[in-house]
Structure formats: structure tokens, C-alpha cells
Structure 1
Amino acid sequence: MFDQYFAGILVAFGVFVMGMFSPGPNIMSIIGTSMAVGRSSGKALALGIASGSFIWGTLTLFGLTALLTTYAGLLTFIKIAGACYLLLLAYKAFASALKGKTMQVKGITVDGGFGRYYRRGLLIQMTNPKAAFTWLAILSLALDQTAPFWVGGIVVAGTGIISIVGHLAYAIAFSTAPMVNGYRKAQRWIDGALGSFFTFASYKIATSDL
């Protein structure tokens, strides 16, 4: 039975990873904090954001499962919405590649140590309205009308691990100006690749069994 959902789970993981390669405000805050305040503060912020991502994933999974139990046909709408959202991400990535837009790094400074930065990161992620749309798109890649609960559980658990590792990697690797400058030089190529992948993922949702 696992083989039936393996491809969808992999694509869901891929979308999550590619999303992390396309730095938004959360990633920029980690990079900026690591550079301006220190690597340890950046790591604390990263762990808070990763925890928030896991919570969003868990809430979305349980909420989506409850809704589909009552309204089975809702998955069709969710998949269409997920495909449109991924197309929007693809458009933004391609637009960024064409314009050559560079990322703007901005750090966060709070009074206190690890706990304060962790809580700030958690708050940043939990108040991010785009997180719900992102998770709906990710889960719709792995789920269909007959998918058991454990399929979504694998996606949430796996992306939780990826989120911790990935956000910490940003805090550690991008805590120096040369690394940030190197990323900026390659950003147009990265954005182009991200646009292509998000387009592919949108196509996978749109052509999957609804």
C-alpha cells in the first residue's frame, strides 16, 4: 500500500524543500539575525520557526482529515486551490529570476537569550497566513480520497525534520557575508529552477486523481 502513495509523498517533500530554497521573510530574518546578532541567536530563531511550521502542518492535517471525513468532495477543491497556489509561487520565482531581484536581509534583535529568540521565531511562523495555504498545497500532493491518515503523518513528520535541519543550516551557513553574497550571485538561476519545479508540482496536482 505504501507504494501507492510513495510518489506523492516524495513530491510533497520536494515542494517543501524547494520552498525553503526560496527565502521569504522567515528565512531572511534567520540569516539577518545570524549575521547581525550571532549564530546562536539565529539558531534559536530557526528552531522557533521550524516548530511553528510543524505545528501548522499538524493542525492542517487534523483539520483537513476531519473536513474530508464529513465532506469527501472537498478534496477536489483543495487540490485545485493547491495547484493554483503553486502556480502563483512559480510565477513569483520566474518574475524574480527575470528581474534579477536580490534578497533583502534584515535581522531581529530582542532582549534575552535563546528562549526569547525561539519564542519570536515561533510567533513569526504561527502568525504567517501563507503557512496554511502552503500546507494545504503540500498535503494535497500526497493525499487522495482513499489515503489513510498515516500518509499525511509521514509528510508532516518528514517535513518537520527537514524544517529543523534546513532552518538551522541557514542560521549556520548564512551567518557570514561571503555566503550571502554567493547566494545572491546564483539567485537568478535558483529562482528559475524553483519556478520550473513549482510548475511541475502544480501539474502533478492538477492531473492527479481527484
Structure 2
Amino acid sequence: MADIWSLISIGFAFFFVAVSPGPATISNATIAMRKGRKVSLVYGAGLSMGLLLWGVVAASGFGVILQGSVYLLMLLKIIGGIYLLWLAYLSFKSSFNSKVTILQSEAKETSYFKWFMRGFILNSSNPKTIIAWMVALSVGMGASSDVFFLISAVFVCMLVGFLVNALYSVLFSLDGVMNAYQKIGHWVDRFASGMFTLSGLGLLWSAFSRNSA
């Protein structure tokens, strides 16, 4: 019974981490408003798989090694920072597209694999995600926790991650929300661009800060 409550605690902790605004959730919401539910669900699945990747890393104990490996962590942060800045550029560029251009681009979009990989790359290229995993896992884990409990905890967090991303996809692809995006989409894209820029620069800053040296 204690293990069940511990898993619930881990699940809730991970939910609050996953649902909080960040590059992943903001990009998923923007894509849902711009491209619709199907594309956003595929993109969200990619985000969830990228999130799961870091969960496996954290649970395997490699996360502690990664946190102590200065140059490997620095490289991952640089890659993640550059990718976020690239997303910032794409969002800023799309903010100047007309409504007709956006609808035309939607009609031409056929590659779901591309959207899945975009989501996967976004979350898998951000090593800060591993900190969220370690925090969530530490909430319900104790000295007596065994391997089965650890696997169960990762499975619970994986389900929570998929649920959160699917929730963003469904809510922000509602007709009313998408119609509103058609009117103020340029401001939404510029806000997303600003968030990506701040996150990317923050990741690059942490890569070259004295604490990482």
C-alpha cells in the first residue's frame, strides 16, 4: 500500500513539472492551434518519447554520472540551446505569415514522422529535463525501493507525460481556440519565439557558466 501511495506522489510531482509552461508545452500548444489536433498529438507523442528517454537515463543512474560529466553535459546544453534558438527563429518567421499562407501550409503538411521527430528532438536535446525526473523520482523513493518500484515509477511518469501532452493537444485544437489563433496568431508566435529565445540563451549560458566549467 505504501508503494502505491509513493507512486501516486511521484505521478503528481511529475504532473506539475510536465504541465508547467516551458518550451515543450508552449510549442505543443502553438502547433495545436496552427496545425490541428492530429499533428499536435503526433508532436506530443514525440515530446513524450523524448521525455521518456531522460527518464530512463535518470532511473538507470547514468543521470548522476551525466550531471558530473562537465564536458558531456556542456555539449548537450549547447545542442539543446542551438535547437531552441532555431525554433525561436521559425516561430518568429511564421508570425509574419498571412492567414492564407498558414492554411495553405496546413494543406500541404503530410509528414507526421517529421512532427514526431521535432517533438522528440526538442525534449531529448534538453538535459535539464533529467533534473525534473530526478526531483519527481526522489519524492516517492526511499532506501528500500527496489528495481521493480523504480520501473513502475518510470512507467507512471511516462503515462503522465503522454497525458499532459495529449491534454495540451486536445484543448488548444478546439475550434474556438484555433479560430482565435487565426486572429492573433502572429502575437502567439512572437510570444513563443521569445520563450524559445530565453530558454535557448539560458541553456547556452548554463553551458558556459562557471558552475559548468
TM-score when normalising by structure 2:
0.58
Q: Find the counterpart in structure 2 of residue 150 from structure 1.
A: 134
The Cα shift of 1:87 comes to: 0.3
Cα RMSD of the aligned pairs, angstroms, is 4.2
Give, in whole Å, the separation in 2 of the partners of 1:127 and 1:94.
18
Q: Deviations over 1:130-162 (max 9, x none)?
A: 23321124x42345xxx59523769x6564442
Give the alignment partner of residue 199 of structure 2, picking from 198, 201, 210. Answer: 201
Partner SS state of residue 23, structure 1: helix
Is the 1:97–1:187 Cα contact (8 Å) retained in structure 2?
yes
Cα distance change, pair 68–150 in 1 and its aligned pair in 2 (3 A) = closer
The Cα shift of 1:163 comes to: 0.6
Cα distance change, pair 21–61 in 1 and its aligned pair in 2 (3 A) = same
Give the alignment partner of residue 128 of structure 1, picking from 116, 119, 127. Answer: 116
Is the 2:123–2:129 Cα contact (8 Å) retained in structure 1?
no
Give, in whole Å, the separation in 1 of the partners of 2:21 and 2:161.
6
Is the 2:50–2:122 Cα contact (8 Å) retained in structure 1?
no
The Cα shift of 1:93 comes to: 0.9
Q: Deviations over 1:26-71 (max 9, x none)?
A: 9725268xxxxxxxxxxxx94x765554233212432576487378
Report sequence identity in percent. 16
Whichever residue aligns with residue 90 of structure 1, its letter is A
Q: Deviations over 1:152-177 (max 9, x none)?
A: 769x6564442121122145x23xxx
Is the 1:31–1:105 Cα contact (8 Å) retained in structure 2?
no
Is the 2:46–2:119 Cα contact (8 Å) retained in structure 1?
no
Q: Find the counterpart in structure 2 of residue 19 from structure 1.
A: 27
- In structure 2, the gaps of 5 or more residues are 1-16, 139-156
